[in-house]
């Protein structure tokens, strides 16, 4: 298939483009006292390390390894993780229609920072092949946690949950850009995660678990094209957060189609196109259009001077090709509800787009989850 201009492949993040959950956040919220706030603090710390100081050997999404010792301390087992993921899975509207059909249209992969039990639950429900998923592998039952370590971790979790939320200006490039109180928080979190926990027997979990975020998502994209035999310029990648930035950059720079789907500021900075929608079937529609017409036809659809594509133009373009009636009806429904907007990012008022995209992100996924990096 190498070089076949009529063939594309679709690579998608899971949480955001396909599901409404943040599984790791919800696990913490369920099993750790004040776990939602605890996770939010650690996630913000993750953003600071990955995006502001760009700490060597650290990548966006490593939150998912940092919280594991705490989940273990509060009694989370593999079985509990599996059952909780199955019970709480919430699909974005359209996912149940689109995901079982997408591999019949073009090769498709899910590239997710989420833990494997969550992807297993999604694949079980939608019949998407688990072999086409890249995700974070972890087996909590393999790790022994002494009682005294568990008690220390419980106290540390309580301490973290009481910390003030870390903030920094958009132009921050280091610790010195933070207010003293936030500098103090970062220094304490550095001590907890890189001195105290590594000194424990459970500390090896931080070395052995490798979340699929940041550079690992980019590597997953590269592995997926080896499997399909396609070039990177025939990849459509849809993501929504800081963990997708390197994959989006990779695809965009190679001439592929990099899409922010209800993305936050991080994803929008790395993508070329932005989709704001309450329904994931638009990803099927865009992929079908690209397969039929090619990338040039997508860029030639008629974006306004403000980088906006009229939603009627989207429906007309997708309606002009052969597509499942059920999927097309889902796309039309989004337009009728005023919940489908497509942007060419370089032509937009970027700050205005960030505001709109983050607003719908919170509407679709919930305010607390939508605020996470």
pLDDT tens-digit readout, 16-43: 999 999 999 999 999 999 999 999 999 9
The two tokens of residue 64 are 């998912």
My answer on whether 116 and 161 are in the same domain is no
Question: Which of 192, 208, 224 is the C-terminal boundary of a domain?
Answer: 208
Q: What is the CATH number of the domain that holds 155?
A: 1.10.3870.10
pLDDT tens-digit readout, 321-361: 888 899 999 999 999 999 999 999 998 999 999 999 999 99
In a domain, 3, yes or no: no
Q: How confident is the model at residue 310 (pLDDT cuts 50, 70, 90)?
A: confident
Least confident piece of the model among 33-37, 48-52, 110-114, 319-323 = 319-323
Alpha-helical runs (H) found in the chain: 23-31, 35-47, 63-66, 68-73, 78-88, 95-105, 116-126, 147-161, 180-191, 204-208, 215-228, 245-253, 265-270, 281-293, 295-299, 311-319, 325-336, 350-365, 367-370
The two tokens of residue 189 are 């979190």
Distance CA 83, CA 105 (A): 32
* pLDDT, averaged across the chain: 93
Residue 20 gets which letter from DSSP? S
Per the structure, the count of domains in the chain is 2
In a domain, 68, yes or no: yes
My answer on whether 77 and 196 are in the same domain is yes
The reported pLDDT for the residue numbered 295 is: 85
Q: What percentage of the chain carries pLDDT values higher than 90?
A: 84
In a domain, 302, yes or no: yes
Distance CA 348, CA 345 (A): 5
Question: Which of 154, 179, 208 is the C-terminal boundary of a domain?
Answer: 208
My answer on whether 78 and 127 are in the same domain is no
Question: Which of 208, 235, 267 is the C-terminal boundary of a domain?
Answer: 208
What is the residue range of 279's domain? 9-21+91-137+212-370
My answer on whether 150 and 203 are in the same domain is yes
Degrees to nearest 5, angle at CA 214 with 169 and 5 = 120
pLDDT tens-digit readout, 117-171: 999 999 999 999 999 999 999 999 999 999 999 999 999 999 999 999 999 998 8
The two tokens of residue 295 are 């990338």
Left, alpha or beta for 264 (phi > 0: left; psi -120 to 50: alpha)? Answer: beta
Distance CA 309, CA 313 (A): 7
My answer on whether 237 and 291 are in the same domain is yes
Tell me the pTM.
0.92
Residue 32 main-chain phi, psi, to 5 deg:
-110, 130
């Amino acid at each position: 298939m190498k070089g076949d201009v009529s063939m594309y492949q679709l690579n998608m993040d899971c949480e955001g483009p396909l599901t409404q959950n943040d599984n790791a956040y919800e696990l913490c919220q369920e099993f750790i006292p004040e776990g939602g706030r605890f996770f939010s603090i650690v996630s913000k710390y993750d953003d600071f390390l990955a995006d502001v100081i760009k700490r060597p050997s650290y990548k966006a999404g490593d939150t998912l390894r940092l919280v594991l010792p705490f989940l273990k301390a509060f009694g989370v087992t593999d079985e509990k993780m599996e059952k909780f993921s199955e019970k709480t899975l919430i699909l974005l509207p359209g996912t149940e229609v689109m995901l079982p059909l997408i591999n019949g249209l073009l090769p498709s992969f899910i590239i997710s920072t989420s833990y494997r039990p969550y992807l297993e639950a999604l694949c079980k429900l939608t019949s998407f092949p688990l072999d086409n998923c890249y995700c974070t592998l972890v087996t909590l039952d393999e790790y022994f946690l002494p009682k005294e370590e568990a008690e220390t971790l419980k106290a540390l979790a309580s301490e973290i949950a009481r910390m003030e939320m870390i903030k920094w200006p958009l132009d921050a490039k280091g610790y010195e850009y933070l207010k003293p109180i936030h500098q103090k928080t970062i220094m304490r979190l550095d001590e907890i995660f890189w001195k105290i926990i590594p000194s424990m027997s459970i500390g090896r979990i931080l070395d052995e678990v490798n979340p699929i975020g940041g550079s690992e998502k980019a590597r997953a994209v590269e592995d997926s094209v080896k499997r399909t035999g396609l070039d990177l310029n025939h990849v459509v990648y849809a993501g929504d957060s800081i963990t997708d930035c390197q994959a989006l950059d990779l695809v965009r720079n190679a001439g592929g189609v990099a899409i922010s789907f209800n993305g936050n500021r991080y994803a929008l900075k790395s993508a070329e196109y932005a989709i704001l929608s309450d329904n994931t079937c638009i990803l099927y529609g865009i992929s079908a259009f690209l397969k039929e017409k090619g990338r040039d036809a997508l860029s030639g659809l008629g974006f306004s001077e403000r980088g906006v594509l009229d939603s009627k133009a989207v429906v007309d373009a997708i309606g002009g090709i052969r597509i499942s009636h059920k999927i097309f009806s889902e796309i039309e429904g989004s337009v009728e509800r005023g919940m489908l907007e497509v942007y060419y990012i370089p032509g937009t008022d970027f700050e205005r787009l960030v505001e709109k995209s983050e607003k719908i992100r919170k509407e679709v996924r919930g305010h607390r989850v939508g605020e996470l990096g």
